[in-house]
Amino acid sequence: MPNNAIYRLKDVGQTVTAQGFVAKVRDLGHLVFVDLRDRSGLLQLSFDADHPLKEEASQLKNESVIEVTGVLKERSNKNKEIPTGDIELLVKTLTVLSMAKTPPLMIQDDTDALEETRLKYRYLDLRRPVLQNLIRLRHDIMQATREYLNQADFLEIETPILNKSTPEGARDYVVPSRIYPDHFYALPQSPQMYKQLLMISGFEKYYQVAKCFRDEDLRRDRQPEFTQIDIEMAFAKEKDVMALAEGLVKHVFKKANQAFSDQPFDVLTYHQAMEVYGSDKPDRRFGLPLIECTELFKNNSLPLFKGKKVKAILVKEGAEKITRKLSDSWAEMINVYPETTLLVLKKEETLTGSIVKNLADDEIKGLIALGLETGDALMVVMAPDVYGPAGRLRLLMGEHFKLIDATTHDAFFVVDWPLYDYDHDAKRYVSMHHPFTAPKTLESLEDPGQALASAYDLVIDGHEVGGGSIRIHQKEVQETVFRHLGMDEKMIEEQFGFFVKAFDYGTPPHGGIAFGLDRLVMILGKTDNIRDVIAFPKTSSGQCLMSEAPGQISDHQKKELSLK
C-alpha cells in the first residue's frame, strides 16, 4: 500500500518508502536533489557525490513516476515554505515506475499555460497543488454535508438520471431511446419532482448529492453539468428549512476552518435586495447602496428621463477618482441593458455635469440633499428597468475601488419572491423559481402579477448558493398554477400527469432547498472560476477539450436510435 504520510523532523532516522512524481531535479555537480511530489506534498531526495544512484537520479525527467526507499535525515539547509522542509530522504533504492515526456504545461500553481491547454491536458493540470487542494476541499464539503444531514436523521436516496422532459426551466439535454423510436429521455435539471414524490412516499427527510444538467448559456460560475446538495422535508415551514440550511452551511464552513459568526443569518425581502443593491444576490461586503431618485425627476421633460426609473450611487471623495475614461468604461459595460444612460455629477463649488444646466433648482437641491459634499461624486443610472444596470455598476465600482472585504463571509436569506415573472415575448407568466412553488397565500393566486412565493434563496458573498421553497401539496392549487403558466388540461396531463395523480393519495406539506456544491467550493476555495473546482469541467462553450466531447456518432448508432 502506498505511503502518503507527511514526514516531520520527529521522523528522522526512520527507513521509509515513498512513491510519486518527479517535481524537479537539481544537479549541483557534487550533489543531486530530487523533489518527489505526491498528494501529501513534496519530499526532497538526496544523492551525495559518492552515491551509486547519483547519475541515474540526475537523468530523471520531470513528472516521471518513481519509488524510493531510504532513511530520513535532518536537512542542513531548511525550507520553511513547505511542511517537510526540515528533512530529506537519503535514498538507498530507486525504481523508475513510469518515464514521462516533457509536459506541455508547468506543474505548479503559477503556471503560465493558457486555460485551453490546461483543459486539454486536464490530468496534468490536476497535478498542480492548487487544484489538488480544491478537489480535496470539495471532498471535505461533501463529507461534512453527509455528516450533518445523517445526524439530523435524513436519508440519502438516489433519483433517476433518465427522466421525462418537462417544458419549464432551461433547455433539457435529451437522450434518444433505442427501444422506443422517436421517444427521448431528458437528463434532470434537478430532482425536483422525484424528491416531492419521496415526500408523498412517506420518507419525510431526504437528501442527495445530485448531478444536474441544463442546456443554457454558460459563464464563469455555471456549467452544463453541475452538482446540487438536494434536501427535502415533510411537514416543514419556511423557517424550518431556513434553520436547517443555516446550520448546514455553518457546519460546512467550520469544517473548512472558515466559520461564520454565531449570529443568525440576516433575512432580506426580494424588494429590499433589488431596491438597495439592484440584485437578488447582492454582495454586501461593501457599501455603495442604490439611492432611489425616480420621484425627484418625475417632472423633468427631457426625453432622457421619459419612461425610465432612476437610481444614484453616492461616492464620497469621488470627484477626482472618477475620471471621464473610467466612467465611459463603466457606461459601456452597463449598456448591455436596454436604453440605459449613465451620468456623472460632481460637487465642486457648484454641482457640475453634462446635464446640470437642464435641471430645475428643486432637482439640484434634491441631489445635494442626498449627502453630496465638496469633492463627492454621484453616479446616476436611468433605464426602464434600472435594477440590472445599477446593480452591475455598483459591483464594478466595488471591484475598482477595492471595497470588497475578501477576508469575511456574508450570508443572508432573500425571501418574499414574486411567484411569477411575465415573459413579454411569450405573452404569458413563467415561474420565478419553478411551477411547484407554493404561493404565500392561496388568495394571492387571484392576481398572478402580485402573488408572492413561499420561497427563499441563500446568498453568500454575492453568490446564490442555495434556493428552495415550500411546495404545493394540494392538487387544485397545483393545477391553478399550471393554468397561470399557460398550460391546458391536455398539456398538464402529458407533462405532469403522473405527478399530479400522486396528489390524490395523500400529500404531506413539504419544502426543501438545493445548494450549488460547485459554488460552495468556489467560495471556500477563494476562486472565481467554477472550472477550478470540478475535476473534469467543460469550457464556456460546453466542450470537453480533453475527450473532445461532444462528438459525432456513427451512422450505425444513428440507425439503431432511429435518428436521421
pLDDT tens, 153-179? 999 999 999 999 876 567 899 999 999
**Cβ-based burial of 168 (10 A; exposed 0-12, middle 13-18, buried ≥19):** middle
pLDDT of residue 4: 55
**511-517-523-525 Cα dihedral, nearest 10 degrees:** 150
Mark which of 377, 400, 423 sits at the end of a domain.
400
**pLDDT for 222 beyond 70:** yes
On whether the CB atoms of residues 249 and 460 are closer than 8 A, the answer is: yes
Do 235 and 294 reside in the same domain of the chain?
Answer: no
Do 155 and 242 reside in the same domain of the chain?
Answer: yes
CATH, residue 305: 3.30.1360.30
Do 162 and 94 reside in the same domain of the chain?
Answer: no
pLDDT of residue 77: 87
**pLDDT for 221 beyond 80:** no
pLDDT of residue 124: 97
**CA-to-CA distance for 513 and 269, rounded, in angstroms?**
17
Q: Which residues contact 534 (CB under 8 A, 6 or more apart)?
A: 223, 226, 518
Is residue 543 included in any domain, yes or no?
A: no
Grid cell locating 364: 439640484
Do 184 and 256 reside in the same domain of the chain?
Answer: yes
Do 323 and 293 reside in the same domain of the chain?
Answer: yes
User: Which has the closest alpha carbon to 190: 423, 430, 434?
Assistant: 434
Q: Which residues contact 497 (CB under 8 A, 6 or more apart)?
A: none
Mark which of 52, 77, 98 sits at the end of a domain.
98
Is residue 112 included in any domain, yes or no?
A: no
CATH, residue 456: 3.30.930.10
Looking only at the bridges linking them, the beta strands covering 155-156 and 205-213 are parallel
Q: At 1, is the pLDDT very low, low, confident or very high (cuts 50, 70, 90)?
A: very low
Do 491 and 418 reside in the same domain of the chain?
Answer: yes
Number of domains in the chain: 3
pLDDT of residue 417: 97
Is residue 262 included in any domain, yes or no?
A: yes
pLDDT of residue 169: 66
Residue 380: how many other CB atoms lie within 10 Å = 20
Looking only at the bridges linking them, the beta strands covering 41-47 and 155-156 are unpaired
Is residue 146 included in any domain, yes or no?
A: yes
Do 379 and 423 reside in the same domain of the chain?
Answer: no
Is residue 480 included in any domain, yes or no?
A: yes
C-alpha of 536 from chain center:
16
Do 69 and 164 reside in the same domain of the chain?
Answer: no
Residue type, 123: Y
**CA-to-CA distance for 400 and 403, rounded, in angstroms?**
8
Determine the angle formed by the axes of helices 192-200 and 489-502, rounding to 10 degrees: 50
User: Which has the closest alpha carbon to 18: 78, 97, 77, 81?
Assistant: 97
Q: At 564, is the pLDDT very low, low, confident or very high (cuts 50, 70, 90)?
A: confident
Is residue 556 included in any domain, yes or no?
A: no
pLDDT tens, 227-271? 999 999 999 999 999 999 999 999 999 999 987 788 999 999 999
Do 324 and 369 reside in the same domain of the chain?
Answer: yes
Q: Can you give the residue range of the structural domain that contains 298?
A: 286-400
Is residue 545 included in any domain, yes or no?
A: no
Do 240 and 152 reside in the same domain of the chain?
Answer: yes
pLDDT of residue 167: 63
pLDDT tens, 384-439? 999 999 999 999 999 999 999 988 899 999 999 999 998 888 889 999 999 999 99
Do 253 and 196 reside in the same domain of the chain?
Answer: yes
CATH, residue 39: 2.40.50.140
Is residue 526 included in any domain, yes or no?
A: yes
User: Which has the closest alpha carbon to 135: 461, 545, 522, 540?
Assistant: 522
Do 181 and 232 reside in the same domain of the chain?
Answer: yes
pLDDT of residue 482: 93
> For the ranges 2-6, 283-287, 327-331, 462-466, which has the lowest average pLDDT?
2-6
Instruction: Give the DSSP letter string of 389-400.
Output: HHHHHHHHHHHH
